[in-house]
Each structure stands twice: as structure tokens, then as C-alpha cells.
Amino acid sequence: MPSLSRLGALLSRHRVPYLLLLPSVLYLVSFTIYPILNVFYLSVTDLHLVKSLVPHFIGLKNYVELIRDDPDFRRIVLNTFIWTFGSTALQFALGLATSLILNARLPWRGFWRGIMLVPWVTPIVVVGIIWRWIYDGSYGLLNYYLNTFGLLHRYVVWLGEDATVWPAILLASLWKGYPYMCLMLLAGLQTIPQDVYEAADVDGATGFRRLWYVTLPLLKPVVAIVTLVALVLTWNNFQMIWVLTEGGPAYATSVLATYVYTKGFVFFQLGSGAAVATLSILVILVVCVIYARMLRLEEREL
Amino acid sequence: MSHRVLRRLGLYGALALVMAFTLSPYAWLVVSSFKPSTEIFTRTPSWSLQGGTLRNYIWALGPTGGNLGVFFWNTVLAAGLTAIITAVLGAMGGYAMARYAFPGRRELALALLLLPMFQGPPVMIPFYRILSTLKLLNTIPGLVLIYLSLALPICIWLMAGFFRSLPRELEEAALVDGCSPVGAFARILLPLTLPGLAATSLYAFVVAWNDYQYALILTSSERAKTIQLSLSELLTFFGQTNWGGIMASGVLTTLPVVLIFMVIQRVLVQGITAGALKS
């Protein structure tokens, strides 16, 4: 077996890094790669938390039921796109604006940068508590101020009405998520050499023109990577929505991520939940391929 | 001249707006946590702390109220173990990634970046099944086993960055002086990356401390329930009656992570942004 002995030689030549990485790789294979493959398999079974603890193969039944028979599914898919793109766009806009502010010469700049990150480390359940209280229909701060300033003449249950629930979730998500975006963009801004700006100054490009024609084009690679990562993480973000509305009222704010939980752990239909997860993963995989391509492009450019 | 002054003013105004947006929801949480119930359930809320009370905090910790002590301890254990294991594996893996060229290195680096994309709902059901097969549902070791998946990839990546920032000559000099490779690693490199290692493992602690979704599906009783999960249950049970107590519990839950974060912020931010940009 020549190939086997070649493999042996390879392993022994690189035994130090392989041994150092062995525990981590073993762990990652069993707790990150196996689960992804496992969820594909479970999606074609009848696994149920109460009725069928042993999975039986049932073909594409779960998928057919979701796509053809589930009256809420179409809305949930649509919601997922609204949520993902809405949240990412808002976070990007405020993140970029804030990174420009915090990249300017300011007194106590380091302090402001630190403060800016506080929502990012705040536990998601606490974020839920903070915003549910602000949005409260009887005693909430938002109702109070809007009524005091005469912008509104009634008390709104912000998280309970179809028209207001998405804006309310998106605002809370903006608060929680913009700091991370800002942090990354700030790091990107700092890689732009100062003399580029000086050259722009000489050419008379200032203010908005400088931002549009100098800063943003140079920031493009960072922007692409950061938004792509944010899109995927938002797509998968079950917690933000769950702590605010649990996907309700009814399914008004359910997305694929919350629906996996609802199916699997509220209705106990693990097989069906796995089918939702699989559909969701397929979309992420596409984004990952684009991401990986971009990383490779970057490398070539460097 | 006046144009420049105007621009400065605009900049400060924008900074003030962003900071107000960032801090006021937080400030409201803290202020409310000190208010008696009559001041909370009112149509004319006020920012004043007059008549402030610690009753909500006593309720949050007391056995007849939030009883957070038990869950606090569970979470310290789970997050602490996650941090320690991540530190060991992260240092080993990060060193290999930073200092050795070997077949599969690029693929592994890519995997470490892409795997965190699949957190949460996509793997919830398999995680539940794995722990149920291992008979580790509703246990601290079970939680740790799952929390490592949140922390390990990014921590290997961070540690690789910290090792890479040290000059290679350090180890080479140690090797020339008769140090073994292990000795060079343990005695020369590790002490120098200690700030990075501390920041990395504390970051793992914060990630585990802040988890809600996995505790939600994997734990069910006082034996292993984490502080985030018990906090969300307080919200369900007392959301109509005791907001003050819930706010106080929220402050207590947040305090440790904000304190840790303030300590590690500089090193961590450096590591995270350097890693992200190098990718």
C-alpha cells in the first residue's frame, strides 16, 4: 500500500501541528459538521419529540407539507427576507455613519468607541427586556413621549399590531447590531492611509464628495465581507425576534429561524423542523460560496 | 474659519445623537430597576431616582423572587469551563495555525471562518439529539460541550493572530539555546501572548454567558438552567406584575459581561478586527 505509507510519512512529517489541532478538529467535526449533515437526514424522517423518538425515513413528506400545505410558510419566507435585508441595511447605515464619526478627531475618542460597543455585549434577553418595556402599550416610554410631544394621540401596543411590530423589532435589532458593524468598518477606515485624504484635499474633494469618491471605494472590500457576514447571522438570528415577540402575533414576525424552533420544540415535530432548517441552510450555503470566493479574490489581490 | 467651527459642531451633534440612542435604553433599564412599583406602572414615567429602592434587587436574588443565585452559579460554571477549555484548545490550535505550514491548513482556516455561520436554529435539533443520546440533556457538561461550538472557531482564529504578531526569532533563539519546542512554546511564547489568551478565554466566557437559544432547548430545571433562561422565564411569569424586579434581574445579568468587556475591550477589539481584515 504505497499511498498508505505516503500518508503515514505526511502525518509524521507534520505531526506537531496535526497533534496540536487534533482535539479541536475532532470536536469541530462532531459538533459543527456532523450536525449540519444530520439535520439534512432528519429532514426526511418523521422524528417527533413525543410520538416517534426513532426516526423513520418518510421521503420528502415534510417538504411537501411545508411548501404545499402550510398556509403560513410563504409569509414566513417573505418575513425572513424582510428581516434579513431590513436589519442588515439599517445596521450598515448607522454603523457606517457612526464609524465615520468615531474615526474623526474627537476628544475622548477611545471612550466613545468603548461605549458604542455596549449594546453588542448586552445579553439578548436583557435587550428583549429593555425594548419590551420601552414599547409597552400602557406604560412604555415610546408611547409617553410620542403623546407628550403630540405626535400621537393614542397608546399603541407596538409589538402587538401588524403595522408596527416589524419597525419595532428592526429598531431594537439596529440598536443591538450596529456596534459590531461600526467596529469592523472603523477598522477598515483605519487601514486607509492618511496621504490618500491629503491627495483628495489637494484635488479639492471634501466632505460628502470625499466620502463618496475616496473613502467608500477604498472601503469596498471590508463592506462586502461585513455585510455578507451580517446577512447570514441575521438570517439565522432566532434570539432577537424570540425575546421580543416569539414570532407573533400569530406568525406575523416568524422567520425561518424562529419557525425551526416553533416546529421542533413547540409542536415537537423535529423532522419537520429539520426540513425548515435544511431549506434555511441551503440559502446560507449559497452565500458561503460567494463569501469564500471573495476571500480567495482578496488573497490574490494582496 | 466659521465653516470649520460649523463642521465641528455638526460632528459633536452627531456624536451626541448616536450616544443618546446607544445609552438611553440602557439608562432607562438601570433607572427603572431602582423604582418602586408605583413609579413603574405609571402613565407619567420619570427619569428621577427620587424614592429609589433596592427592593427590586432583593427580590431578584431572594428565594421567593427571582432566585437568581442558583442560576448565576450554573452559568458561571458552564461559561467558566467553556472559557478554560477554549483557552487550552485555542492556544494549541492557534499556535499550529500561526507557525506551521501543513496540508489542509488553508481549508481549516476557511472552515474556521465559515462554520460560525451555521449557529443557532440550523443545528438546534441535532444538538438536542446529540445530548439526548449522550444522556447529557439538562447538565452543565452538556451545555459546555455545545458552547464550545460558539467559542472555539473564533478563538483559534484569534489566538493564531496573537501568535503571528510575535516575531519568529523569539522561538528560534530559544531553540538555539537548547530549549525543546514545547519548552519554547510554554516558556517564551505563552507568557508573551498571555494578554491575548486572557482576552480570548474571557470572550469565550462572555459568549457562553450570553447564550439564550441553546439553554432554552437543552436545559429544563434548576440543575442546569442558565441565568439567561431563568431571566426569560421571569419575564413570562412576572411580565405583568413585577417589571421592577425583572429590570433589576436584567441589570444583575448584564453587569458581569459589561465589566469583563471593559477589561478585555482593547486587546479583543484589536484581535477581532485584525482577524477580520486579514481574512
Percent of chain A with pLDDT over 70: 97
Under a CB-based contact definition with an 8 Å cutoff, are residues A193 and A103 in contact? no
Residues in chain A closer than 8 A to B41 (CB atoms): 138-139
Tell me how close the Cα of A206 comes to any Cα of chain B, in angstroms. 12
Q: Do B22 and A115 touch (CB under 8 A)?
A: yes
Query: Domain spans of chain B?
Result: 59-278
Q: Which long-range contacts (CB under 8 A, 24 or more apart) does A211-216 make?
A: A211/A100, A215/A100, A215/A189
Tell me if chain A has a CB within 8 Å of the CB of B170: no
**Mean pLDDT for chain B overall:** 89
**B59-278: what fold?**
MetI-like fold (1.10.3720)
Whether A43 contacts A58, CB under 8 Å: no
First-to-last alpha carbon distance for chain B, in angstroms, is: 42
Query: Which chain B residues are closer than 8 Å to A287 by Cβ?
Result: 117
CA distance B28 to A134: 9
Task: Describe chain B by its helix, strand, coil percentages, rounded to 5.
Answer: 80, 0, 20
CB atoms within 10 A of CB A290: 12
Which residue in the set B44, B96, B254 is minimally distant from A126, CB to CB?
B254
> What's the confidence (pLDDT) of residue B272?
77
Radius of gyration of chain A (CA): 24
A69/chain B closest Cα distance in angstroms: 22
**Min Cα separation B201/chain A (Å):** 15
pLDDT at A204 over 80: no
Closest residue of B to A260, CA-based? B121
| CB-based burial label for A180 (10 Å; 0-12, 13-18, 19+) | buried
| Minimal C-alpha gap between A76 and chain B (Å) | 15
Query: Does the pLDDT of residue A171 top 90, yes or no?
Result: yes
pLDDT in tens, B167-216: 888 888 888 888 887 788 888 888 888 988 999 999 999 999 999 999 99
The answer to whether the CB atoms of B89 and A298 lie below 8 A apart is no
pLDDT of residue B276: 58
Q: What is the DSSP string of B191-251?
A: HHTHHHHHHHHHHHHHHHHH--HHHHHH--STTT--HHHHHHHHHHHHTTT-HHHHHHHHH
User: Does residue B8 register a pLDDT over 70?
Assistant: yes
Helix or strand or coil: residue A45?
A: strand
Question: Rounded distance, CA A233 to CA B213, Å?
Answer: 14
In chain B, which among 46-105 make CB contacts under 8 A with chain A?
A: 89, 92-93, 95-97, 99-100, 102-103, 105
pLDDT attached to residue B64? 79
| Set of cell numbers at residue B34 | 431602582
pLDDT reported for residue A302: 44
Rounded Cα–Cα distance for residues A140 and A136 (Å): 4
Q: In this model, does residue B277 exceed pLDDT 70?
A: no
Ramachandran angles phi, psi of A43, nearest 5°: -70, -15
Enumerate domains of chain A plus CATH numbers: 73-253 (1.10.3720.10)
Does the structure show a pLDDT above 90 at A197? no
A40 pLDDT more than 70? yes
Burial class (CB in 10 A: 0-12, 13-18, 19+), A108: exposed
Mean pLDDT of chain A: 89
The mean pLDDT value for A259-272 works out to 94
Nine cell digits for residue B165 = 504578531
According to DSSP H, which parts of A191-269 are helical?
A: 194-202, 207-210, 216-235, 239-244, 256-261
Q: Cβ–Cβ contacts within 10 Å for residue A60, how many? A: 12
Nearest by CB: B122 against A30, A132, A236: A236
Query: Over the stretch B30-73, which tens digit does the pLDDT of each residue have?
Result: 999 999 888 888 888 888 888 788 989 999 998 877 888 889 99
**Which of B12, B110, B118, B252 is the mutation pick for testing A, counting most A CBs within 10 A?**
B118
Q: What is the pLDDT of residues B219-272, one digit of tens each?
A: 998 889 999 999 999 998 887 788 999 999 999 999 999 999 888 888 888 887
Q: Tell me what the mean pLDDT of segment A41-57 comes to.
A: 90
User: Of the candidates A115, A222, A280, which has its C-beta nearest B121's C-beta?
Assistant: A280
Contact B43 A118 (CB under 8 A): no
Dump pLDDT digits (tens) for A63-113: 999 999 999 999 999 999 999 999 999 999 999 999 999 998 888 988 899
Helix boundaries (H) for A14-123: 15-28, 34-42, 61-64, 73-103, 109-116, 118-121
d(CA A297, CA A201): 31
User: Shortest CA distance to A77 belongs to which of A251, A267, A273?
Assistant: A251
User: Which residues in chain A touch residue B126, judged by CB atoms under 8 angstroms apart?
Assistant: 34-36, 38-39, 42
Using CA atoms of B37, B40, B44, B46 in order, give the dihedral in degrees to the nearest 10.
Answer: 110
Predicted confidence at residue B96, as pLDDT, reads 92
Chain position carrying cell 452565500: A287
What residues contact residue B38 under an 8 Å CB cut-off, 6+ apart? none
**Inter-chain Cβ pairs, chain A and chain B, closer than 8 A:** 265
Residue type, A244: L
Q: What is the ipTM of this complex?
A: 0.91
Percent of chain A with pLDDT over 90: 59
DSSP structure class, residue A150: T
Cell numbers 443545528 correspond to B123
Residue of A246, A120, A116 whose CA lies nearest to B210: A120
Chain A partners within 8 Å of B246 (Cβ): 129
The one-letter code for the residue type at B124 is M
> What pLDDT score was predicted for residue B279?
47
Question: Band of the pLDDT at A214, cuts 50, 70, 90?
Answer: confident
- Nearest chain A residue to B226, by CA: A125
> What's the pLDDT at A211?
82
Q: Identify the CA nearest to B158 among candidates B214, B87, B236, B262.
A: B87
Classify each residue of B47-74 as buried b or exposed e, where b means 16 or more C-beta atoms within 10 Å of its C-beta.
eeeeeebebbbebbeeeebbbbeebbeb
